Structure 1
């Protein structure tokens, strides 16, 4: 077996990419961290001596972990593909369209999240965003390469069809400032003004949905804050950092659709929050 320190060093060199894969797959910073850690546990139990493409091998491991996590959510039952279903060749876009789709997929996936099965999501994210061959993805989801290609094709059509509008940086900052001010003031109606009616809040311990529940939780929590909450970029996403004694103790990363806050990913664990890339605004 390879030296454990050497294996850990190789894994850490891939951690950023693996986290990006998991975050695209799961839509949650906290869950992505959990997925990467679980992948490391699995790597530690595996024999890597015959692995030729270490980065690709790690990507498939993270894919399997994410697939397990998505299926555990139990939000939708997967429907089996019919083996004779043809794959339209013209469905795959050219390089420029691929780049545009990859840039916008974060928001688009959140819009169509409930319309994608775990296998569709995995096939689309791994192939279209991270260039993993369908042959390798097929091994992860337990389907043939042709069926896997069709899964990605279905997901791609749904993503393209999502009618999500882009919220610009200035408007995102306005929404975060308004959210922060309303939470500080206990302004329940002010929070409802910036939250999507079906907003989702995800933390390490669970999920809260709906603007009423989220606004109630935000006003309740704000009364007990002892640190300083400031606007920030959290892993590149506009959000909020809670500082205590100058250190990041908690982060909120927002996703915006139609000029409303649709998803809030909260890292509540101080150690996890400290590992995130946070830039104060």
Structure 2
């Protein structure tokens, strides 16, 4: 393979590599940086590469493992709950199939070691053969099998695949937005599960809940209180699929945007993931 052939081999892999880096790191900007670094390294390779896709996957995974060390240190001092950057995913007009890697699963993967996370994503999500994962992680196949197995058991309860009609997802998102905006506790009570949680990520840069809010009673009081104090409620821009979950993009009174993703269980909202940190929303603001 000549150097002139490198862009031709790299570009078809760019999207997949970015998805892998994003799911390893939870940051779209860092994922883009990793892919760019991978391209630079790829362009400098002199020897012939028989399977470019496998080679590039190896580069990106190793770059992500290096970055995870500093990322975890930053999250230890993060102000308030940390959430991954919201990734808007296209939806089929007839049916929405939740991605294997939802916001909920990405948070569960935070419990894994970097190697467990890599083994799980590569083998279980991206369907990389176990022998190739072993080469990527520089481990014996048996050790990689154990890493993936431990990871799978740790996140099993959060890896729930479900199908949701697009119109129903839109209806639930709009109903929740309206009820939350109006502080309508009766309508909210009909939508929420008893063990509902709110995760709100402001990163210490904008107003957000500093702790996870748990339980329907606390959540209802919170929304009622916010409505009483807030004379300028947010505006719904559009509904969206955010990391495989139904949700919406809204504009706050100050002009900034935010995203809200809703995890459903047995027809009710079990978790609410709100991202308001402006550092995580630049791509949303530009796209709207």
Task: Give the structure-2-normalised TM-score.
Answer: 0.59
Measured at CA, do residues 54 and 189 of structure 1 come closer, stay the same or move farther in structure 2, by a change above 3 Å?
farther
Is the 1:164–1:257 Cα contact (8 Å) retained in structure 2?
no
Is the 2:259–2:274 Cα contact (8 Å) retained in structure 1?
yes
Measured at CA, do residues 53 and 203 of structure 1 come closer, stay the same or move farther in structure 2, by a change above 3 Å?
farther
Structure 2: distance between partners of 1:9 and 1:272:
27
| TM-aligned CA deviation for residue 147 of structure 1 | 0.8
Q: How does 1:122-201 map to 2 (within 5 A)?
A: 122-160=118-156, 166=162, 168-169=164-165, 172-185=169-182, 194=192, 197-201=196-200
| TM-aligned CA deviation for residue 152 of structure 1 | 0.7
Aligned to 2:142, the other structure's residue is in SS state: helix
The match for 2:3 is 2
Unaligned runs of 5+ in 2: 77-96
CA RMSD of aligned residues (A): 4.7
Is the 2:18–2:35 Cα contact (8 Å) retained in structure 1?
no
Structure 2: distance between partners of 1:165 and 1:260:
16
Measured at CA, do residues 270 and 147 of structure 1 come closer, stay the same or move farther in structure 2, by a change above 3 Å?
closer
Aligned to 1:131, the other structure's residue is in SS state: coil
Aligned to 1:109, the other structure's residue is in SS state: helix
Is 1:256 matched with 2:263? yes
Measured at CA, do residues 179 and 126 of structure 1 come closer, stay the same or move farther in structure 2, by a change above 3 Å?
same
Structure 2: distance between partners of 1:124 and 1:173:
31
| TM-aligned CA deviation for residue 124 of structure 1 | 1.3
Structure 1 stretch displaced more, 121-130 or 263-272: 263-272
Measured at CA, do residues 12 and 273 of structure 1 come closer, stay the same or move farther in structure 2, by a change above 3 Å?
farther
Measured at CA, do residues 271 and 157 of structure 1 come closer, stay the same or move farther in structure 2, by a change above 3 Å?
closer
What count of residue pairs does the alignment treat as equivalent? 242
Structure 1: distance between partners of 2:67 and 2:188:
31
Structure 2: distance between partners of 1:24 and 1:189:
37
The match for 1:117 is 113
* Corresponding residue to 1:56 among 44, 54, 57: 54
The match for 2:212 is 210
Structure 2: distance between partners of 1:232 and 1:13:
26
Is the 2:101–2:243 Cα contact (8 Å) retained in structure 1?
no
| TM-aligned CA deviation for residue 122 of structure 1 | 1.4
Measured at CA, do residues 181 and 37 of structure 1 come closer, stay the same or move farther in structure 2, by a change above 3 Å?
same
Structure 2: distance between partners of 1:66 and 1:18:
11
Higher RCO, Cα 8 Å, sep 6+: 2
